[in-house]
Amino acid sequence: MAKDPLMPKHQGFPLGLPGTQWQYTIRRANPKVTPVTNWPRHRTMDQTVALADLGFMQALWQYFGTEPFERGNLDGERLCRLFGREVIAAERGFDPQSYFAKLKINEPLARKNFPEAFGEVKDEQSVAKGLKKKARE
């Protein structure tokens, strides 16, 4: 069996949006790495998709703030939904298929598109509760 590629892990980063299928991190490296590219965000009947994007943005802000960060074990799909807008490459020669690629939050645009993500929230359970309440309103 081939050895899995190394992947930096962000200890303490929320695993996903509680009560939904949406994850924020992956457990182990995949030899077929999902390249980080700009995916369009379409309106959908499934409101949890938008909630997961909001929760992920909030987790990124709380965990990394304005500092550049490695892609590491962050979920490729969630990153692709924000990449090129709220999350941008933080280095020249950005490799979209590297777990060591440096990213950063485009704070002005992220604050504009996800203003709720920059409020004070204490943990991922309260993030999920607050986001679900907002979705019902």
Query: Tokens standing for 121?
Result: 């929230």
Does 102 fall in a domain?
A: yes
Question: 134 versus 88: which is more confidently predicted?
Answer: 88
| 3-class DSSP assignment, residue 44 | coil
Q: Would 6 be classed as within a structural domain?
A: no
Q: Sign of the CA dihedral 80, 83, 85, 86?
A: positive
**59 domain residue, yes or no:** yes
- Residue-wise pLDDT for 120-131, tens only, equals 654 555 555 554
Domain that holds residue 61: 47-114
Statement: the pTM of the whole predicted model exceeds 0.75? yes
Please tell me the predicted confidence (pLDDT) of residue 33. 87
Residue 28 lies in a domain: no
